[in-house]
Structure 1
Amino acid sequence: MITTVTPFAPNATGCLSAVQGQQIAVASYINPLSDPAAWDRLIDYDVSKMPILVANVLNGPDSTVDSSWQGVIQRASSAGKTVLGYVRTGYLGVSDQIFQTRLGSGNLADWTAQIEEDVDRWYKLYGDSIGGIFFDEGWPECGVNNEYVDLYKYINAYTKRAHPGAYTVLNPGSPMASCFEDTMDTLLTFEQSYDSYINSYTPNDWTPNDPRKLWHTVYNVSESSVSEVVKLAKERGAGFLHLTDDRLPNPYDTLPADSYIQCMMDGVDGGSLSNADAAAWELDGAAGAVTDLTVVASDYSWAKLSWAAASNVQGYHVYADGRLVVSVPSSMTEVTIGSLASGTSYTIYVSAVGGGGRLGSSSNQVTVATKQLPGGKTVTNYKSSPQENSTVIEADVLVPYSSVRLYIWDSIECDFDEDPGWGVNFNVDDYVCTHYMVDGSTLYRYDGVLPKGSTASPWSWEAIDTVNLNIWGYTYTWTLPLGASTVDTTKFVVQAQGYNPMINVFEPDPSDYDCEGSSMCTTPDLLKWCDHAVSYLFRDDDLNYHSTEVIEDSLYSTQSGDCWGDLTQGCGVFIQGQNCSISGNDMWNDYQNIRTIGGCKKCGSYQRKDGCRVTIDYVYQCDNHQDLP
């Protein structure tokens, strides 16, 4: 590759003087809630030098508006920035990782459907504040008969037709063949560390006509090395540059210091974007009619369709209830459409796209009836099977999510002074305390420290081991290197979020427990009295304890169980509810669970599945019916 080298001279600060035309583009995956000041800076920097920001809510747009992201996206757009929405393309499912869509498919048509769905969702949720799309995980090979590059061109054209003015970026993070030059407005052809950029950089084997075609991202760059990298990027023909001093695993969730950014800004001259129009449909003859449209399969949120190929076709449009839901190239005659509502019927048809974009006759119509979610739940059939040194946890996840995490919890609420943890809420003001998390195939242990004067735990986890994660159909199966000998793994949370309503599924259900009671529960000897009372229950399976009793043919509520105290004050353990009966063994077990699962130190209760409640509470004038041993 032949490059033209522009002379550089350090200014008084040690930063380079301006480079004509070069601009800064930022993969700004910074949570607006955790660092609003970073977004204030990104928005305020000179738009001619930093015109592009990338928004990434949850590896894409998610399914509902995120108000914090909406705020910064709108402000950035109003300031003249081009905000690109992040969309995964999964290397089209053909890389060594064999990535699958959220619906578990590696089919090219299904990847096309998911990509286009995410593109449209960015604009649906955030409107004209979105200035284009950042297509991540781009596959850099042309493919047999240009199969892959032509698919990216098709997706690019779809994006620009559906959303006029959209600026598009394709990111393989590695060199690309020259066949890709006209796929999208900009190609991100380097995404590695400073060390790799200096010592093992591999260029494309072609030179674009316009340097704005290329974007280089380099992480782990110290501030003292910014000038060096800016110079190299210019020499290597990159019209866009993103530098950060952050590191893997996520080098894009923080923003370098202002002095760092200013050094970059001083080294580039700025410019404008080069935004191409959508490619025109070929001027060919009319398309034939689509026939034999069939529903191959359907489920809670998706349907797989197939049809017979039509003649003279440039693409196929698939419609659900009259709305375009996906457009696929002419080589594809089957596709899976997602994001359908459960328990709902849809009328589907397909039209072929002919010369000049004119649609042929519609296919036959078919009806898709999605399955109803059981009890409206998206996560079901969850259980834990602990062994001494390992645990298998399973859960059925019935609809697609962008993220499914597993937490191991040990108590309701955290002791932040002695053993801080990460809270997962089961009610607005109630949470369980977790110390282990599985994200993907990595096991993490919480290592955050609550800052002095703060009530918000930092999101801070240490990777400690790997986990075997198997996904088969609906079923997620985690095999953890934690077992009964070290950790109680019977208490867990499955957390699913992104592209469907977020859900936290708890086992056991912590909302069945509370640690409320009399204001006298702080009595010094109460715990000792409670333990003594439960120890003297009739320990068998007979239903000896009842919430009501008949006195002279009348039914009265009673507190049946046991108590112990000093004859004036004490602790009672008893059953409550309408017509409730319980054995001593069951009451004893429930008492232990109130302590271990509910985390109740003194008073508390457990709402049983039979509608009855076992309660531990302060009582006055306890009638001790057992003698001390």
Structure 2
Amino acid sequence: MSKNGNVYPHLPIVTLKIDGPPYPRLPDSLATFVTEGSDFYLNATDDVTIWGGDYLGCPDDATGSEVSSPLTIDGFAPYSAYPDSYNSLLSTWIEALGSTDEGSNPDSGGDAGQQIAIASYINPLGDPASWERLLTYDTQKVSVLVANVLNGPDYMVDESWKSVIDQAASQGKKILGYVRTGYLGVSQQQFTTRLGSHDLADWASQIEQDIDKWFELYGTSLGGIVFDEGWPECGPNNIYADLYAYINNYTKRKHHGVYTVLNPGSPIAQCFEDTMDTLLTFESSYETYTNSFVPNDWMPKDPRKIWHIIYKVPQDQIASVAALASSRKAGFLEMTDDDQPNPYDNLPNEAYMQAVIGAVPGGTPLIDDLAEVTSSSVVGLPSDAVVSSSDYSSVTLTWSSVENALGYAVYKDGVQVLELPASLTRATIGMIDPGTSGIAFEVRTILALGSGGSSRLISASTKSLPANGTNANVGFTQNGDTVVYKADVLVPYAFVRLFIGTKQPDIGIVHGWPIQAPGVTLGMDGQDTAYHEIVNYLVEGNDFYSGFYKYSGAWYETAKANADWSWTSIGVATQSQSGYTYTWNVPFAGTDAVASEYVIQGQGYAPLNNVFMGSLRHYSIL
């Protein structure tokens, strides 16, 4: 290369160990390797047939030595040492030679070949046809899918999701349950847990409870967990990387053989390399991927460690993007022609999907086995564990650290519900029914060796809800074009939404999003009818960003089909949460919204709850 003036040749001479382990079946090699100690010896062959033609070694008078003279080298340049254009040529060359390696070559077939992993946030009840297509695709090509019920597992089985999870498992696909990690509460957004906490221990508590809830609801059909909103920085003394590794080990110990993915959606530090089976390190547009891609500053041992998601990819660029991803050591790939704000809510058309499937060789995920656990839980330590607080659906325990502890296990009524690293001495146990009394908790210390201590039970209770249920102090004030809504939401939900209606005609069919009100009546013609509040505006988000939307779906009042969830952004309506109190500031200028006609809805991790305010009600035939 140096004699060439650092101009890269059209085809590689040597960038990988292409003959001998781990590449025993690569045909028609240009060279063979001999290993002696830490040295590799490259022996060029005299006559190699490639692509039906002859490749002859350089004549002796050009090289100044015999063809059989060995060239000693001390290693191989990593992919990162070469530009993408060169790596793309390398991928094409190896593929043309017909390699069927199952080693670390990212372009090989077999188990290690590039595969398709899809963040399939498509409601199977609303779009069953897309799931029918997903389930028919070759498992060696489309190997990983994601189930996202309500930013997590919710609190009860969703039968439509259970059906696709079971079917995917029967075909050998890995379908992963979605778990939020909120960037562990340390990002600019300062995300909170569902209970409104930024505390690292509370995030760890919620994450582990969501993991176990997924497997409680969907059993062994679930192939693993994808941990979204992953924080990509190691932290002081590797605290964040170590916590993700601890959560990964917890998952694999309790649910054997599962596959784990961490998604920061951005480059990630090498301290995370062994925290999960796969790391999703790119999640952005085709333009960014081709023009301003930022790689990790380290290369994975196996390309199946890396997953890239690229949206807004033109169909005629699918093959080139797949080759580019392969050169960047991305063993998993998702491409879609969809765009923001949600590129994952539908499946591209069949021609597009077949082009994606045809662009990858296929394989299977790499799942690391968990080493045997040699530690033991010692009952009764620490001795100062106490209930520090409780509310309607959760209890928080705190304790002092124990010398030489490897971690702490928390038990509820004799069943382990959490396990935390030694750096965390607090746990919040959620998803408890309001008004539950006499709950018995224990905190046990995990030690490598040792015994002693007697069982010490800590009794706790949760508050009972008021007579009017999970919402209280609901109301609004209007000042010009700005309307401020407030409500106390006493239990945590995956989503707390504000819907606003318009002045509807007394006669005529009403268009909008229907929210069913309590009670069903029997119509005069013998058909059941249900009362609905018809709304046309939505506010949804969090403290960091909350959008204001107008209904753009096709549903009308007398329609029997499911209403389509389709909303168009019309601006921002700020939302904030302080304790139980939610506050929304909504700009009414340019809308036909009626401030007094609104619904506050809580959904996920508790029974669906709608608080209707106003008088407009309409009915539809069930």
Q: TM-score, normalised by structure 2?
A: 0.77
Question: What one-letter code is carried by the residue in structure 2 that aligns with 1:422?
Answer: W
Residue 222 of structure 1 deviates from its aligned partner by: 1.6
Question: Are the aligned partners of 1:411 and 1:433 in contact in 2 as well (CA < 8 Å)?
Answer: no
Indicate which of 406, 410, 420 corresponds to 2:511: 420
Corresponding residue for 2:524? none
Hey, what's the Cα distance between the residues in 2 that align with 1:102 and 1:453? 36
Is it true that 1:341 corresponds to 2:430 in the alignment?
no
Corresponding residue for 1:231? 323
Question: Are the aligned partners of 1:293 and 1:363 in contact in 2 as well (CA < 8 Å)?
Answer: no
Is it true that 1:435 corresponds to 2:540 in the alignment?
no
Residue 311 of structure 1 deviates from its aligned partner by: 2.6
Hey, what's the Cα distance between the residues in 1 that align with 2:409 and 2:364? 34
- SS of residue in 2 equivalent to 1:297: strand
Question: What one-letter code is carried by the residue in structure 2 that aligns with 1:335?
Answer: A
Corresponding residue for 1:479? 585
Residues 1:10 and 1:34: Cα distance change in structure 2 (over 3 Å): farther
Describe the superposition over 1:156-213 as per-residue Cα deviations: whole angstroms up to 9, x where unpaired.
0000001001100001011111111110101111111100000010111111111111
Residues 1:303 and 1:260: Cα distance change in structure 2 (over 3 Å): same
Residue 464 of structure 1 deviates from its aligned partner by: 1.2
Is it true that 1:499 corresponds to 2:601 in the alignment?
no
Hey, what's the Cα distance between the residues in 1 that align with 2:460 and 2:137? 50
Question: What one-letter code is carried by the residue in structure 1 that aligns with 2:91?
Answer: T
Corresponding residue for 1:365? 457
Residue 416 of structure 1 deviates from its aligned partner by: 7.4
Corresponding residue for 2:167? 75
Residue 228 of structure 1 deviates from its aligned partner by: 1.2
Is it true that 1:408 corresponds to 2:500 in the alignment?
yes
Residues 1:264 and 1:316: Cα distance change in structure 2 (over 3 Å): same
Corresponding residue for 1:194? 286
Runs of 4+ in 1 over 3 A off after TM superposition: 8-11, 279-288, 358-363, 410-417, 449-457, 483-487, 597-600
Question: Are the aligned partners of 1:157 and 1:279 in contact in 2 as well (CA < 8 Å)?
Answer: no
Question: What one-letter code is carried by the residue in structure 2 that aligns with 1:425?
Answer: Q
Hey, what's the Cα distance between the residues in 2 that align with 1:359 and 1:27? 46
Is it true that 1:7 corresponds to 2:92 in the alignment?
yes
- SS of residue in 2 equivalent to 1:488: strand
Residue 301 of structure 1 deviates from its aligned partner by: 0.7
Residues 1:128 and 1:480: Cα distance change in structure 2 (over 3 Å): same
Question: What one-letter code is carried by the residue in structure 2 that aligns with 1:423?
Answer: P
Residues 1:22 and 1:451: Cα distance change in structure 2 (over 3 Å): farther
Question: What one-letter code is carried by the residue in structure 1 that aligns with 2:552?
Answer: D
Describe the superposition over 1:421-466 as per-residue Cα deviations: whole angstroms up to 9, x where unpaired.
1111103511011111111221112223349996444322221121
Question: What one-letter code is carried by the residue in structure 2 that aligns with 1:6?
Answer: S
Residues 1:283 and 1:114: Cα distance change in structure 2 (over 3 Å): closer
Corresponding residue for 2:69? none
Corresponding residue for 1:310? 402
Hey, what's the Cα distance between the residues in 2 that align with 1:453 and 1:491? 21
Corresponding residue for 1:212? 304
Question: Are the aligned partners of 1:409 and 1:435 in contact in 2 as well (CA < 8 Å)?
Answer: yes
Residue 387 of structure 1 deviates from its aligned partner by: 3.0
- SS of residue in 2 equivalent to 1:351: strand
Corresponding residue for 2:448? 355
Corresponding residue for 2:571? 465
Residues 1:452 and 1:505: Cα distance change in structure 2 (over 3 Å): closer
Question: Are the aligned partners of 1:414 and 1:420 in contact in 2 as well (CA < 8 Å)?
Answer: no
Residues 1:36 and 1:208: Cα distance change in structure 2 (over 3 Å): same
Residues 1:87 and 1:485: Cα distance change in structure 2 (over 3 Å): closer
Corresponding residue for 1:87? 179
Hey, what's the Cα distance between the residues in 1 that align with 2:122 and 2:377? 49
User: Which has the larger displacement, 462-471 or 498-507?
Assistant: 462-471
Residue 34 of structure 1 deviates from its aligned partner by: 1.7
Corresponding residue for 1:173? 265
Hey, what's the Cα distance between the residues in 1 that align with 2:246 and 2:553? 46
Residues 1:282 and 1:147: Cα distance change in structure 2 (over 3 Å): farther
Task: Name stretches of at least 5 consecutive residues in structure 2 with no aligned partner.
Answer: 1-79, 97-106, 521-529
- SS of residue in 2 equivalent to 1:250: coil
Hey, what's the Cα distance between the residues in 1 that align with 2:189 and 2:182? 9
Residue 259 of structure 1 deviates from its aligned partner by: 1.5
Residue 374 of structure 1 deviates from its aligned partner by: 0.6
Corresponding residue for 1:63? 155
Residues 1:598 and 1:484: Cα distance change in structure 2 (over 3 Å): farther
Hey, what's the Cα distance between the residues in 1 that align with 2:132 and 2:283? 25
- SS of residue in 2 equivalent to 1:308: coil
Residues 1:92 and 1:362: Cα distance change in structure 2 (over 3 Å): farther
Question: Are the aligned partners of 2:190 and 2:198 in contact in 1 as well (CA < 8 Å)?
Answer: yes
Residues 1:415 and 1:347: Cα distance change in structure 2 (over 3 Å): farther
Hey, what's the Cα distance between the residues in 2 that align with 1:412 and 1:431? 13
Is it true that 1:396 corresponds to 2:493 in the alignment?
no
- SS of residue in 1 equivalent to 2:92: coil
- SS of residue in 2 equivalent to 1:269: coil
Hey, what's the Cα distance between the residues in 2 that align with 1:485 and 1:255? 33
Corresponding residue for 1:546? none
Hey, what's the Cα distance between the residues in 2 that align with 1:270 and 1:353? 42
- SS of residue in 2 equivalent to 1:217: strand
Hey, what's the Cα distance between the residues in 2 that align with 1:230 and 1:452? 46
- SS of residue in 2 equivalent to 1:489: strand
Residue 376 of structure 1 deviates from its aligned partner by: 6.3
Residues 1:484 and 1:31: Cα distance change in structure 2 (over 3 Å): closer
Corresponding residue for 2:146? 54
Question: What one-letter code is carried by the residue in structure 2 that aligns with 1:238?
Answer: A
Hey, what's the Cα distance between the residues in 2 that align with 1:284 and 1:452? 61
Name which one, 1 or 2, has greater alpha-carbon Rg.
1
Residue 6 of structure 1 deviates from its aligned partner by: 1.0
- SS of residue in 2 equivalent to 1:375: coil
Indicate which of 314, 325, 341 corresponds to 1:222: 314
Question: What one-letter code is carried by the residue in structure 1 that aligns with 2:443?
Answer: V
Residue 41 of structure 1 deviates from its aligned partner by: 1.0
Residue 223 of structure 1 deviates from its aligned partner by: 1.0
Is it true that 1:155 corresponds to 2:247 in the alignment?
yes
Corresponding residue for 2:381? 289
Hey, what's the Cα distance between the residues in 1 that align with 2:302 and 2:508? 56
Residues 1:276 and 1:598: Cα distance change in structure 2 (over 3 Å): closer
Residue 286 of structure 1 deviates from its aligned partner by: 7.4
Hey, what's the Cα distance between the residues in 2 that align with 1:317 and 1:42? 39
Task: Name stretches of at least 5 consecutive residues in structure 1 with no aligned partner.
Answer: 12-17, 511-596, 601-629
Hey, what's the Cα distance between the residues in 2 that align with 1:284 and 1:32? 43
Hey, what's the Cα distance between the residues in 1 that align with 2:457 and 2:334? 49
Q: TM-score, normalised by structure 1?
A: 0.76
Question: What one-letter code is carried by the residue in structure 2 that aligns with 1:446?
Answer: Y
Hey, what's the Cα distance between the residues in 2 that align with 1:375 and 1:452? 32
Residue 308 of structure 1 deviates from its aligned partner by: 2.0
| Superposition map of 1:315-334 within 5 A | 315-334=407-426
